[in-house]
Structure 1
Amino acid sequence: MKKVIKELKPYVPEKTLDEMKSELGLSKLVRLSANENPYGTSKTVKDAVVNWAYSQSNRYPDSDATELRQLICQKFDLDPKQIVFGVGLDEVIVMLSRVFLEPGDVELISSPTFSEYALHAEIEEAKVEKVPVLANGGIDFSGMLQAITPKTKLVWICNPNNPTATFETVDDIENFVKQVPKETLVLIDEAYIDFVTEKNPSAMDLTKKYSNIVVMRTFSKAYGLANFRVGYAVFSKEVAEQVQKTRLPYNVNSVAQVAATAAFKDQAFVADVVEKNAVEREKLQKFFDKVGFKYYQSQANFIFFQYEDASGLAQYLLENGYLIRTGLLPNWLRITVGTSEDNQTIIKLIEKYLG
């Protein structure tokens, strides 16, 4: 066994809601810790999954995810060969780390950001360099450029960033990429891009201009398909061909493909989710202004905020039926933007806790 595996601190998923409710003796527990879609899934997804021909379950799925691939290509004007699908973005991160990192290589990330970037670099025995975010929670592009060396193979840009929820413009990203050596790959994780209210937020078109850019998307968030595990990455064709070599041939199962295809066709559902999220996000941020909590301006479906008794507040909310994310930074908490009803309850609970 690799020594690095023995020493690795793995990503630990949360317990199921049923397990936690049982342990806490609660009749209701709302999870606002995993940035899931509180509005569920498009009805068309349910219909598509129910109508899927179960008689096909003895057959392997379409390895190319042909219909879904064509829909994505039409929307973003892409060549089909640019896309690599994964079982959620988790598998895409694994593939990227496996293909591009060797022992002794360097991966560059902002801090804080999504922990799986570093986790899989460590598995490949690469070194992880961290550049702290700016005072406003945004990515320090200048600091990132200064940190790049000939050994830097991957640079991760999570946009909006998890957990800070801050957003970087396409112009700022492109200006950064222009200064990055062509041998260094810039990975842009757009898991939460649908929630951005700015115009034209995606860096997808940059994949047509720069061979060292990768843009990643998921169906887990705005589309409400976290359980189906469907993600994809868009590369230049030359790079995509190399990454495809490491993809398991039948990784995205047929039911997941059917669900993602139906979800992608129902953009009205996504637009409704995004609109509701923007309204509720603003309500929470105004409340945090009112009570004096420091937070980073969010363009995602979650807010990262600071409170001196973070663990106490999180425990109080948990005991009252609301689970939020702890442990990302000392005295900081991340809360998923919930429904109007849940957010009103959260506000009342925090007011009560603050006395």
Structure 2
Amino acid sequence: MNQILKRRALDRIKPYTPGKPLWEVKEELGLKQVIKLASNENPLGASPKAIEAISKILNELNRYPDANAVELKKTIASCLDVKTEQLIITNGADELITLISETYLEPSDEIIVPFPSFSEYDFGEQLMGAKVVPVPLDHEYQFNIESILAAVTEHTKLIYICSPNNPTGTYMPKLMLEELLHSLPKNILVVFDSAYSHFAANEDYTNGLEFVRSDYPIIVLQTFSKIYGLAGVRVGFGAAPESIIQSILHVKEPFNVNSLAQAAAAAAITDEEHVNHSKKVNTKGLEQLYNALTEFGIKYTKSMSNFILIEFGANAKEVYQQLLALGVIVRYGDIWGLPGHIRISIGTQEENTVLIEAISSILLELRLVNFKGEVK
């Protein structure tokens, strides 16, 4: 019998539960065709420039990747008007969240996380034995500066802000972020996750990079998994004042981002045609779903991202299960403490149409069941 004791911190950790992959649903339910609208992926696929870049280096896979991702840093720095010294390249934004935790957190520290939000923030802090302080979002899932500041104590080390927020699609306006940064003690680091920033269209939105350029105590998280369509190769980056980047580099593994990912990301970030087309498809898709949900009388939260949080109330789990049975993979909200909700990613027009027709048939069936139940 194994008598090796694991760290006590692991007792508090709930492993991340990813959305079901296409092959698994096909196999489980015996379906030939399945559409996935669960993981906020780009339905158009990867940037064509990224695919071309990958194909050019396939014969170099016997070599280790550049441990410092120099060329990718140069390209990002040029595109986003930051210095290469202000960048760290990671195996998706998830790795960066863990690295930040390993860099800054002691067991006595606290982190503030508005909720509902991305569950990986909690994972990083629980891993280090720190304490997560949840701060509920306001009515209609809006951020509240007063509530965040009221949660700050002498033990607060990090504050996570996801904007646009996953899973709600709401965001923190620029002036609100500026107020937060000015109001906080200078020994607290704001981790600003703007993974979905490319989809945010409102004029008062900020991706946070302007505050990096002004040397605020902030680190901005970005990913190539969403609009660039590179979720399969796992690459992201952080942008922060140089002193913060240097601290995090102490805990980074040397070959954390593979060669294919580096080449793909460097090409994708320059692919304006793919980015603009992805934005247009997403905007049309949002309107397509808004119109259908309004017609159905279903409440939803207006989104600044590539997904919608939809309220189905007591029927949410059944709607989720029936959509799955029909070959439409979506995300059930219980993982965020929202058992009455479902989060649905925006697909192509054709995929959205399949989804809408499936929801329509499910709602009709549920109403008939409820009616029969009342008659009985």
Cα offset, 1:15, TM superposition: 4.1
Q: Equivalent residue for 2:276?
A: 271
Opposite residue 129 of structure 2, the aligned amino acid is E
**Match for residue 71 of structure 1?**
75
Partner of 2:320: 314
Deviation of 1:123 after TM superposition, in Å, equals: 0.9
Q: Percent identity?
A: 36
Q: Secondary structure at the match of 2:65?
A: coil
In structure 1, the residue matched to 2:100 is: 96
- 1:289 offset after TM fit, Å? 2.1
Tell me, yes or no, if the aligned pair for 2:161 and 2:191 is still in contact at 8 Å. Answer: yes
**Match of 1:58, SS?**
coil
C-alpha deviations, 1:59-88, integer Å up to 9, x for none? 211122112111111122211111011100
Once the two structures are superposed, the pairs formed by residues 34-113 of structure 1 within 5 Å of their partners are 34-54=39-59, 56-113=60-117
Aligned position for 1:288: 293
Q: Letter of the aligned partner of 1:26 in structure 2? A: L
Q: Which residue of 1 aligns with 2:302?
A: 297
CA distance in structure 1 between the partners assigned to 2:199 and 2:175 by the alignment: 19
User: Among residues 119, 136, 142, which one is paired with 2:146 in the alignment?
Assistant: 142
Q: Distance in 2 between matches of 1:261 and 1:331?
A: 40
Letter in 1 for 2:164: P
Tell me what 2:162 maps to. Answer: 158
Which string of whole-angstrom CA distances, capped at 9 and with x for unpartnered residues, describes residues 91-130 of structure 1?
0000001111110210100110000000110111111011
Alignment length (residue pairs): 354
1:133-163 Cα shifts (integer Å, max 9, x gaps) = 1112122221001111111000000000000
2:239 is aligned, of 234, 251, 268, to 234
| Secondary structure at the counterpart of residue 288 of structure 2 | helix
> Aligned partners of 2:20 and 2:323: how far apart in 1?
17
DSSP 3-state at the match of 1:144: helix
The equivalences for 1:14-33 within 5 A come to 14-33=19-38
Conserved? CA contact 1:84–1:233, under 8 Å: yes
Rounded Cα–Cα distance in structure 1 between residues aligned with 2:53 and 2:289: 35
CA contact (8 A) 2:19 2:331 kept: no
Say which is worse superposed, 196-205 or 280-289, in terms of deviation. 196-205
Range with bigger deviation, 128-137 or 155-164 = 128-137
Counterpart Cα distance in 2 of 1:196 and 1:15: 27
Query: Partner residue of 1:324?
Result: 330
Query: Counterpart of 2:363 in structure 1: which amino acid?
Result: L
Query: Paired residue for 1:132?
Result: 136
Alpha-carbon distance between aligned partners in 1 of 2:120 and 2:301, rounded to the nearest angstrom: 22
Output the CA distance in 1 between the equivalents of 2:214 and 2:51: 38
Compute the displacement of 1:253 (Å). 1.0
Counterpart CA distance in 1 for 2:217 and 2:26 is 46
Q: What secondary structure does 1:136 align onto?
A: helix
Residues 305 and 14 of structure 1, relative CA distance in 2, 3 Å threshold: closer
CA offset digits 1:222-257 (Å, max 9, x no partner): 000001100000111111111111111111111111
TM-score by length of 2: 0.91
Deviations 1:249-276 (A, max 9, x none): 1111111111111111211101110111
Structure 2 residue matching 1:299: 3-state secondary structure? coil
- TM-score w.r.t. the length of structure 1 is 0.97
Give the partner amino acid of 1:4.
A
Following superposition, the deviation at residue 292 of structure 1 comes to: 2.2
Contact 1:109/1:129 (CA < 8 Å) preserved in 2?
yes
3-state SS of 1:298 partner:
coil
Q: CA deviation at 1:7?
A: 4.2
For 1:97 and 1:184, the matched residues in 2 are separated by 13
Runs of 4+ in 1 over 6 A off after TM superposition: none
Unaligned runs of 5+ in 1: none
**Structure 1 stretch displaced more, 235-244 or 282-291:** 282-291
Q: CA-atom RMSD, angstroms?
A: 1.3
1:341 paired residue among 332, 343, 350: 350
Q: Which residue is equivalent to 1:262?
A: 267
Task: Note if contact 1:197-1:278 (Cα within 8 Å) is conserved in structure 2.
Answer: no
Say which one has the larger Rg.
2
Q: Deviations over 1:175-231 (max 9, x none)?
A: 111101110000100110011112463211101224311111000000000011000
What letter corresponds to residue 250 of structure 1 in structure 2?
F
Of 70-79 and 81-90, more deviation after overlay is shown by 70-79
Q: Distance between the aligned counterparts of 2:18 and 2:84, measured in 1?
A: 33
SS of the residue corresponding to residue 221 of structure 2 reads strand
| Distance (Å, rounded) in 1 between the aligned partners of 2:116 and 2:83 | 34
Kindly provide the amino acid, as one letter, of the partner of residue 132 in structure 1.
Answer: P
Could you tell me whether the CA contact under 8 Å between 1:86 and 1:92 is conserved in 2?
yes
CA distance in 1 between partners of 2:268 and 2:319 (Å): 36
Q: Post-superposition shift, 1:32?
A: 0.7
Q: How far apart are the structure 1 equivalents of 2:133 and 2:23?
A: 38
